[in-house]
Every structure is written in C-alpha cells, then in structure tokens.
Amino acid sequence: MRATVKGRVAVFHPQGFLDGNNAPSFLTIEDIKATEGLNIDMLLVSLKKVIFFNKNGLDVFIRLLINIRNQKHISVGLCDYDTPKFKTIQTFYGSDLNFSLFRTEKIAELFVATNKSDPKTVLLYNEDPSQRSAMAIELFDYGHNPIIVQSKKEFDEKKRNPDLYDAIIEDTYLGLFGQKVATRVTGNAIIYTISNFLDAEIGNSFNIAYHNNSLNVGFRLFIFDAYKVVSMNIHALNFFTKLASSAAEYNATICFVGMTFEKTPITFKNDLEDAGIIFFDQMEDILKNKELLEELGGSSATASKQTRALTKALVNELPGFIDATVSTLAMMTNAKATKESMNIQPLEVKESQNQYASSIGFYGDMDGMIILIFPKTIAKKACELLIGEETDNEEAILDSLAEFVNIIGGRAKTLLGEKKNRVDITLPRTYSNVNALLEMAQNKKGVQVDLSFEGSHFTFFLTR
C-alpha cells in the first residue's frame, strides 16, 4: 500500500480489519522504501475505513512511522477516528504514546507548513493543560488563531456554534512535536518561528526542503520570528550564514525579528548582517510597512530581479513535459487535448478573467517551473475525477487543481529520472487570480504552448 500525498502530508488508508496477522501485508519493502523517499513533513495512518484494529496490527504501522520520524525528523501519527477509537488507542499505548493523534486529517493539516496564507480560527480543548498549551503554541506558530477553552463544559457550549470556527480540535494528542521549525505564510512572505537555544540541531529542525521549495516557487522574503530565542551558538550562526548565501542566489531576503543579543555575542549580529540578514525589532515593522515590504520582496513575488534563461537541456525535455500534461488531462477527463501553437516568449495571457492558474517547480540536476492556466470551466472538468461531483466551491477546485498539477510534476520527475536527471518537485501553487501569477512570471521568458481542449484553450508555460 502506498501513502497518498497532499501538500506535505502523506497518509496511508488501510480498510477493513487490521491485526497482527494481516498488517505486515499492507507494507511491502517497496512501500517502505517509497515512503522513506517522500518529501514530507507529516506521515499518518488513517483509521477512517478500519472497522477493527488491535495493538499488534497498529504496531506494524507505528514501527514504520517511528522509524521514518527518526530518519527525517517529521511528525507522525494516526488520524480519522471517533472517540471510542481514540480511547482505545490511548489504552493500548498509555504513557508510551510517543506519536500524535489527530481526530481528522484536516486537523492534522493545521500542524504543518503549507505555501498558502490561510489562517484558520480553531476552537481547542484538551483536558491535559500541557497538551492544550503545546497545541495552542504550534497552531499559533503555523499562523492560525487558536481559541483555547479551559473546561469541558465551556467547550461543549462553544461547540454548539460550529460555524464560528474553521476547525474544532478535540480527541487529539501531540506526541513528540516541535521537531520542525514552525512555518507560516503571510501574503508573499514566509515566517519561521524559532525559539530557545539555537545550536547545531537547527540543521535538523529547519525544513530545508520546504525552504528550497519556497525559493523555487517564487517566495522572496523569509522572516525568522526570533522573539523566543534565548541564545545562539557558532553552529547556528554558520547555519544562518549559509542560508543567507543560498538566498542571495535567488535575490531573496532573510530577516530576523525580535532577536535580542543579551546572551548571544553581539559579533554574531555583525556576522549575520555581513551575510545579508536584516534585523527588525517588531514584526509589524515589516508587515505593516508596504514600501518596505515591497523593497524586501514580500509584497508580491516580483522581486526576482534576475531572470534566468532557458537551457537547451530543459527545452529538450519539453515534448515530455507537454506529454505529461496532455496525458494527465486525458487520464482525468477521458478527452484529448491538442497542441495549437508553441513560442519562446514571456508568458502572455489574453484574458485573465475567469481563469485559474497553477504552477509546480522542479529542482536538482535540472531546474524549471511548469505553469498551467485554465479557463475555470476546464479546471473544473479536469478536477471532477478528484472532487467527485460538480462544485463551485473555489477552495475545493483549487485544492484539486494542486493535486492535478502534482500528478503532472510527478510524471515530469519520472520522465527526467528515466534520463538519469534526479530532480525534486516543489509543492504546487494555485492562483484564483491569474494576475498574481502574471506578476510573478513577468519578464520570465519561457516556452508557451497553447493547447485546445473540448473547444476551449489553455496555456502551458515552461520557464526557469
């Protein structure tokens, strides 16, 4: 069984009965290897379709989860259960419960970084005060607004108005959390929350894959929320200096906010400034100053001053990329798309209204970005297989569009892999407003392919 991957969360979905006899059959050696190779921040096992499980059955999955957590420093746990199942799991593991439990997959997603600026209002209750605080801190660090309730009675009262909240958290447990630096997106800036003593461990807890991904999809402003940092040692200093150097290649800016140097040598500040890192006292100094935000690259993704030329190697792969796109569309709709024209030019969209766009980048032996722009009707049609029903819910369509582009990215990765080019793909990014994409892609030259699908046109754009 393979895990499905949405954003940076991978989930196994076993069905039926799960006991010590059959559980090993769910995970072959290939499945385990494939899971180890995933570029994710969280790995879960969904119990939604499991009617019966015993401890021996769960243990098979838990062993894999813990193993992968030890290797990759990611969060792991179980999700999608009801209250009786939650209590059963707690009874099985008692004080040895060292993985997380999320009542739903949606709740789990609140505890991982995305590339969307989408803060949620979350009603939160846990009878254990330390769990309650841990969850509130994590949620806050990931950019959400937790409303913490101190008693079960108050929680039950507040729960009666579910429309007031985007999510309600109960029957949830955080096990060994905070292994990664929490990340949130505000507009076009990425905010990392760092705390306590910063040492060599920052290399493990900072999600470098996510950071590279963000650089590749066009983010240019990275802010370290350092209010809670007590001190930093030379290893952490080296880490941030290197990070600043790699950001400079993308014309990206790294800022520290709220960092005091009472217990950290002030020379470190000079070293970091020499590396290009800028210091601010308050977060508002940046986020509420539009001019400064624009200058730093956080108002939009336009700060990419450097345009990178297409390479011959990349253009050689173009037919494969187009084929990946066309065949994915055919797979999802059972209808054919045909190529109409192809030009090397900056991205040009005739009508930006009523269109959705999405992009996915790849980096490694070769780097580039695939951009797709669809009329909304085509996007809806392309996503029908994933959504299951006709819908006008924009969030659902854009989420499915991201999954759709992820398949194309996966195909492109396989295609390049066959030619011994090892690449990683970034998180897909979707745009409900094509103008936002056009701002990011302006001045970028690429190969624009206009395609026709069931009488409508859509655009494929390959750039760097």
Partner 1 sequence: MVTKDEIERYIQNIPPAPTIVKQTLDYVRLGDLTKAAKCAEEDPALKLYLKTLVNRPVYGFRNEVSDVSQIFGILGVSTAQQILYNYLMSVLVPKQWELFHLTHQEFYDLQAALSAKWTKILTHLSLLNRESESAITLLPASIIVCDALFGAHKSEVEQLKSVKALDYNTILYRLCRSTLFDICTQIALKWEIPPLISRIVHAASGNDQDLKPTEKVLAQWMHLLLFFELSQGTYVSAGLNEFIEFKIEFVQDIYETFMQVVEYDESNG
Q: Which is nearer to partner 1, 234 or 330 (CB)?
A: 330
- Phi and psi at 359, nearest 5°, equal -140, 155
Instruction: Provide, rounded to whole angstroms, the least separation between the CB of residue 388 and partner 1.
Output: 6
Contacts with partner 1 by CB under 8 A lie at 1-2, 4-6, 11, 13-26, 28, 46, 48-49, 51-52, 54, 56-57, 328, 330-332, 334, 384-386, 388, 403, 406-407, 410-411
Q: How many residues does the chain have?
A: 464
Q: Which is nearer to partner 1, 164 or 330 (CB)?
A: 330
Q: Which is nearer to partner 1, 263 or 336 (CB)?
A: 336
Instruction: Provide, rounded to whole angstroms, the least separation between the CB of residue 447 and partner 1.
Output: 24
Q: Which is nearer to partner 1, 56 or 179 (CB)?
A: 56
Instruction: Provide, rounded to whole angstroms, the least separation between the CB of residue 374 and partner 1.
Output: 17
Q: Which is nearer to partner 1, 19 or 166 (CB)?
A: 19
What DSSP state is assigned to residue 185?
A: E
Q: Which is nearer to partner 1, 42 or 191 (CB)?
A: 42
Q: Which is nearer to partner 1, 22 or 282 (CB)?
A: 22
Exposure class string for 380-410: b at 16+ Cβ within 10 A, else e? bbbbbebeeeeeeeeebbbbbbbbbbbbbbe
Q: CA-CA distance, 295 to 213, in Å (whole number)?
A: 22
Surface-to-core class of residue 436, CB atoms within 10 Å of its CB (0-12 exposed, 13-18 middle, 19+ buried): middle
Q: CA-CA distance, 225 to 196, in Å (whole number)?
A: 12
Instruction: Provide, rounded to whole angstroms, the least separation between the CB of residue 50 and partner 1.
Output: 8
Instruction: Provide, rounded to whole angstroms, the least separation between the CB of residue 18 and partner 1.
Output: 7
Angle between helix axes 266-274 and 234-248 (nearest 10 degrees) is 20
- Phi and psi at 298, nearest 5°, equal -105, 0
Q: Which is nearer to partner 1, 168 or 332 (CB)?
A: 332
Instruction: Provide, rounded to whole angstroms, the least separation between the CB of residue 404 and partner 1.
Output: 8
Alpha helices in 303-441 (DSSP H): 312-316, 318-333, 376-387, 394-418, 434-441
Kindly state the tokens that stand for 318. Answer: 């173009």
Instruction: Provide, rounded to whole angstroms, the least separation between the CB of residue 57 and partner 1.
Output: 7
Least Cα distance to 60 among 15, 101, 20, 4 occurs for 20
Instruction: Provide, rounded to whole angstroms, the least separation between the CB of residue 78 and partner 1.
Output: 15
Contacts 24+ apart (CB under 8 A), 382-388: 382/329, 382/332, 382/333, 383/332, 384/332, 384/333, 385/332, 385/333, 386/332
